A and B are shown apart, each in its own frame.
Chain A
Amino acid sequence: MTAIDQARFDANWRAITAELDAPRPTRIERLLRAVRVPTHVVRMIVATPALRRSWYLSVLAVVLVGLGGADPANRDSLFALLVLAPMLPVLGVALAYGSAADPSHEIQLATPTHGLRLVAIRSVTVLVVSIAIVVPLAALSEAARPMAVAWLLPALAVTAASLALMTFLPPRQATAAVAVGWFTATLITRLAADDPLAAFTAVGQLVAIGVAIAAVAVAISRRSSFENLEYAA
């Protein structure tokens, strides 16, 4: 009988049993892997059940789209949809980040993965899921179709603004502040232009791009705040 290297045998055996014993990937994991999302990124997304709240919010958005489409002539219901839809990703991020949402938050802060990277991955996930649900359904609705994508840049802007503000305030306070700012801005624009959808015209979209760029710059320059328990609580 040939002598075997026991240490090598043990290492190989451990590797085999680890492969066999690993729990089966969930449906969402398999779906994300199928669309070529890297496995470690899939893990960051899937092992965060708090993100599911944002998906539920997206479903709520679908209901809102349905309501908006009930009366094609009603620009007020379209206004309500366009004002609320961009806040869904922001709420999703706020509900999925920080000690209040995630009991492992403090442990995660002490890892070499940058806090901004983690929160950015989660923000993008929430944004993509919201878009994936809201856009096709809005396009199906006769009333919402013209504006099916009009909320995307504002959503990007308010999500980036909430990330920037999270470097100064806890996540939920930052989100509340952004929500107040966003609702105020859209109301003022509506009253000034005497048009419910004035904030979503080409000029409004350009302003949204500007806000998004500025907010991302602030979040990057103050990224150390995402590394500190006092800020990132």
Chain B
Amino acid sequence: MTPAHLHVQGVVKRFGDRVALDHVDMLAQGGLCAVLGPNGAGKSTLLRCVATVLQPDSGTISIDGLDPSRERERIEARARLGYAPQDAGFDTRVRAFDALDLMAVLKGIDDDRRRRRIVFEVLDRVGLGNRSADRIGDLSGGMRRRLVLAQALIGAPSLLVLDEPAAGLDPDERLRLREILGERRRTSTVLVATHLTDEAAICDAVIVLGESTIRFSGTPAQLATRASGQVWVQDGFPPPDVRASWQQADGRHRCLGRPPEGVELVEPSLEEGYLIVQDLRSTPA
């Protein structure tokens, strides 16, 4: 399977007077692409537009050259898509197997035996193969999130759109999620919205959204280097004009901002690069 080619061009989305996306552009084909940003930056709106459940007010989205604003092409694009929204779930009265079986039906898999095999494959993949007959109400919050991820994997989609997939998962479950994402990066284009920079660190590309616009687009390493020369460690309390600082386990302070003379500069992290990118726009020049 070839990963989908995703092209977002000049997308604008408004809700009443509020602009949720303001001329957003992005290009992706294959690999993992993280969409980072604070709450309200427009991450979920961007993912909903890409997942074809929201129609942009202007601009275009193309999935393998298909235009989702046209009905026939939208249906075709959806056949290549796996989508796991942030707040979605399933009716708690339904059995895990039945919920995924319904999703397989909606994805156009009509053959009973093939559908059952696929449903068990994705249930096994997310570690819920032995809970197939359980009602969803009997599953833990993390298991329910995994079930939402499992439905997105049905049909081996070439474009996976995952909104905060790690939310509510314990460390073991996060590792399993990383394994799954690692597998999918070879066969799919995976768009992952997250506010966790450690999730973004495993991605091939990162987009930083802030106040409805794209503030950065590049690799995780490139994002980290945005803070180069602005991160240092020192003994004693940091100067008052630092942008951020925290005490490390060794008692020294790690600081982000304009370094004083003679301090020990260190390699910046992805999180520090992210903070600088967000900060640059919100601080007047």
- A residues contacting B by CB (< 8 A) are 14-15, 17-19, 21-23, 38-40, 43-44, 46-50, 102-114, 118, 223-224, 227-230
Contact = CB atoms under 8 A, between A and B. Distances in A.
A107 B160 CA distance: 12
A47 B113 contact: no
B90 interface: yes
28 contacts: A18-B120, A19-B113, A23-B97, A23-B98, A43-B102, A43-B105, A44-B106, A47-B91, A47-B102, A48-B102, A49-B93, A103-B91, A104-B103, A105-B88, A106-B85, A107-B85, A107-B103, A110-B83, A110-B161, A111-B106, A112-B75, A112-B79, A112-B106, A113-B105, A113-B108, A227-B74, A229-B53, A229-B54
Interface residues of B, number: 50
A22 B74 contact: no
Contacts of B98: 23, 43, 46-47
B96 to A, nearest CB: 9
Contacts of A21: 120, 129, 132
Interface of B: 48, 51-55, 71, 74-76, 78-79, 81, 83-85, 87-91, 93-95, 97-99, 101-103, 105-108, 110, 112-113, 115-117, 119-121, 129, 132-133, 148, 151-152, 161
Contacts of A104: 88-91, 99, 103, 151
Given A14-B117, A106-B88, A224-B71, 15 more contacts: A15-B113, A23-B97, A43-B98, A43-B102, A48-B102, A49-B93, A103-B89, A104-B151, A107-B83, A107-B151, A109-B53, A111-B106, A112-B108, A113-B107, A230-B54
A109 B151 CA distance: 13
A163 B116 CA distance: 32
A217 B55 CA distance: 23
Given A110-B51, A111-B107, A103 B88 contact: yes
